[in-house]
A and B are shown apart, each in its own frame.
Chain A
Amino acid sequence: MLWACVLLPHLALDGVLRRRPSCDAPLALVSGSAQARTLFAVNTPARAAGLYRGQRLSAAQALLSQFETVEYDPAATEHWHRLLAAWAYRYSSDVVLFPHAIVLEVSKSLGLFGPWPRFEAQLREDLTALGFRHRIALAPGAQAAYVLAGIHDGLAVMTPDALQRALAPIALRYARLPADAGTALPAMGIRNLGQLLRLPRDGLQCRFGAPLLAYLDRLSGAAPELMEAYRPPDTFDLRMEWTHEIEHVEALMFPLRRLIGDLATYLAGRDGGVQRFVLELEHRSASPTRVVVGLLAAEREAALLFECTRGRLDRQQLPQPVVAMRVIARELPPFVPAGRDLFDTRPAHAMPLDQLRERLRARLGERAIQHLRRTIDPRPEYAQTTTDNTHLPEASEASLHSQATAIIPRPTWLLDRPIPLHGPSPTILAGPERLETGWWDGGDLRRDYYVVRTSQGQCAWVFCPPGEPGRWMLHGWFA
C-alpha cells in the first residue's frame, strides 16, 4: 500500500479566492462572534501588509485601511473538501478525508498514471488548475503520509524502512499526536518521534493511555489503519456566492467557468456524464432565474458544457443583479465516449459533430436539429417522423438495397400540407397510384397520386380524388 496525501493548508481561503479573477487586493476571512471578530485567514497581499491569522479585526483595520473581508463559512470549506475528494476519486478508489487533507491509495493507480513523479506532477497540475494550494507527500501509510505532508512538500517514501528514518527526526508538535501527548511529551524531554518510538510501550500506556500507542502503531505501519473511505455523492450541487452584485451576463462567465469546471471534475471522478442540469441565478429579492441546460447525449467535457451553458445564458434576461449561482445536476447517466477513427480524414482541428450540434442547439433552440426516419405507414404525411435523437440505429444494408430497387416513385421534397396546383394543366408522366388507407386512426384518405411535369419543367407529385383528374393538389417535388 502506498498513500499519497494532498494537504490543503489554505482550503478556506482558496475556496474564496478561486471565484475571483484576480487576487491583488488584500483580503481576509473573518470569523468569531460580533464582539470578538478575528481574522481566520489572510491572502498574500494582506499578509505583506502585516495582517496575520488570529489577529483581532479592529487591530487589522488599524494596520490597513482598505481590505476586503469575507465571512468564513465552515460549510463552504467542507464543500470544497468534498469536491476535491471527488476529484481525487478519479485517481484512486480509496480516498479518505483527513482534516484539511485528502489521502488516496495510489499503489494500484501507479500502473496507469505512474511512475510517481509523473503522477505527482499530474496531481499538482490539476490542483493548480482548480485553484487550490497544496502540499503532497507519499508514504506506505495514510497517517504517515499525512504527517509527512505537513513537514516536507514533495517527499516520497516508498518502503517501511525509509519511513522509519523519515519519521524519526520529526518534532513532536508536528506529529499530530492525539490529545495532550503533544504538549506533555516535550516537557518530559522527548523531542522527536524517533525518541518516542524507542520508549517502552508499557510506560507509555500507563502514562498516556491506549490511544497514543494505537496512533503510533498506525503511524509506523505496525497496525492496520481503519478509515472511512470517501464515497462520491449521487448528485452534484454546488453554489457560489459573491459579496457584490453582478449585473451583466458577461461578468458571470468567470465564476460560471469555475462551476462548470468543478462539475466536469466531479463527473470525471465518477466516470459519468451529465445530460441535463440546472443553473440557478439567485437574486436578492426575486425568485431565482433557472437556466435549464439539456444536451443531446451525456457529456462531461468542461469546454463543451461551458459553451452550451454560455449559449443559453446569453439569451437570458436578468431581472435583477445576481448574488449567487448554483449548479444542480441530478441525473448522471453513464458517459460513453464517442469513438473516432484512427485514420480520420477530417481536418486536425475539426470540432466533434456532437459539439457542433450542441452549439447550434444552444443558439437556435432545443429542437433545432432533427433527423428524419422512415416509418412503415404508407400515407405520405406519416411516412416519416422527426426525431431529436442523434444516435439512431444504423440502417441495415438489406433495407437500403430494397429501397434502391423500389419502383414506386417517391418525391424528395414534401410540402407541409398539400396546396392546389395552379397554372396550365400538367403533363402526366406516371400514375395513378391509389393510396386508400388510414382507417385505423381516423386519418382516412383516398387519393390517386400522379407524377406530372408542370409548364415550368418541374416534376411534381400531385394527387386528386379518385375519378376526378384535373383537381390537382400539389404534395411534393421530384427535385
Chain B
Amino acid sequence: MGNVVALASMLEGRQVWRGRAAHAPSGDQPTGWPALDAALPSGGWPEASLTEILLPADGVGELKLLLPTLARCTRAGRAVVVVAPPYVPYAPGWEARGVVMSRVDIVNADPRDALWAAEQCLRSGSCAAVLAWPTHADDRALRRLQVAADTGKALAFVFRDRRHAAQASPAALRLELETQPALQVLVRKCRGGNAPSRPVPLSANGP
C-alpha cells in the first residue's frame, strides 16, 4: 500500500465520481407551468442563466411558454426586454396573459447589433428577463450571453430553429417545442440533473 489518502479530500478534489450529481438547489423562478416545474431539476428556470428554446417554426407556442414568467416579472415591477422580435408583439394578447406592457422594452436592432444589445441588457443587472432571436449566433456568442446573464443575474431566453439541436450549446437549459401530437416541451439538456425522458405536455388553455 502506498500513501493513505483521505476519502474526503478525494471527494473534495472531485477525483471520485459518485454516480449522481449533487442536487441543484431549487430556485425561485417558476415557469408558471406546474408540469414543467416538476420536470426541471431546479423547479423552474435555471437562475441567472441562458435558456435556449428550439422551435420547429415561428408561432408554435414559444410565447405561451414564457408569458406566465413575463407576467410574474412585470407585475413585480421588473423590466423585461425583447430584443429584435421576429414579429410585432401584440399588446392585447400579451395583456390578456397578465403582462404589464409598460415594463416591456422592445429594442429594434438589426441582427448584427441584436446580440450586442441583448448582452448589454443582460449585463446591466436591471432587467429580469431578456428575450432574443439570434439568427447567426454561434457557440461563442451564446456563451457570451450565458456569462452576461450570470453577471447581471437575469433570465436569458434565446429562440432558435430546431435544426440547431444537434450543435452543442452552452445554455443551462435547452427546451424543444413539439407540436405533434399536441404542444409539448422536450427537455434536451438541463444543468443539475438528468433530462426527463418524456416530453412535458403544455395544455392548450394555459397553465
Contacts and interface: CB of A to CB of B under 8 A. Distances in A.
Interface residues of A, number: 52
Contacts of A404: 96, 98
A369 B107 contact: yes
B86 to A, nearest CB: 8
B147 to A, nearest CB: 14
A479 interface: yes
B137 interface: no
A384 B126 contact: no
A410 B125 contact: no
B98 A384 contact: no
A411 B60 CA distance: 12
A180 interface: no
B102 A364 contact: no
B90 A413 contact: yes
A367 B106 CA distance: 10
Interface residues on B, range: 35 or more
Contacts of B180: 457
Contact of B59 (A349, A352, A369, A413): A413
B203 interface: no
A410 B93 contact: yes
A400 to B, nearest CB: 7
Contacts of B100: 394-395, 400
A353 B98 contact: no
Interface stretch (B7-15, B108-116, B168-176, B187-195): B108-116
B67 interface: yes
A356 B120 contact: yes
A363 interface: yes
B63 A413 contact: yes
Contact of B56 (A360, A372, A456): A456
B183 interface: yes
Interface string A376-414: 000010011010001011110000100110100011111
B62 interface: yes
Interface of A: 346-347, 349-353, 355-357, 359-360, 363-365, 367-374, 380, 383-384, 386, 390, 392-395, 400, 403-404, 406, 410-416, 456-460, 476-479
Given A374-B92, A383-B92, A390-B105, 18 more contacts: A351-B123, A353-B126, A356-B124, A370-B106, A372-B94, A403-B95, A406-B96, A410-B90, A412-B93, A412-B97, A413-B85, A413-B89, A414-B87, A414-B89, A456-B179, A460-B59, A478-B61, A478-B93
21 contacts: A346-B125, A355-B124, A359-B120, A368-B108, A369-B107, A373-B101, A395-B100, A400-B95, A403-B95, A406-B96, A410-B90, A411-B93, A412-B67, A412-B89, A413-B59, A413-B86, A413-B87, A414-B87, A414-B89, A477-B58, A479-B59
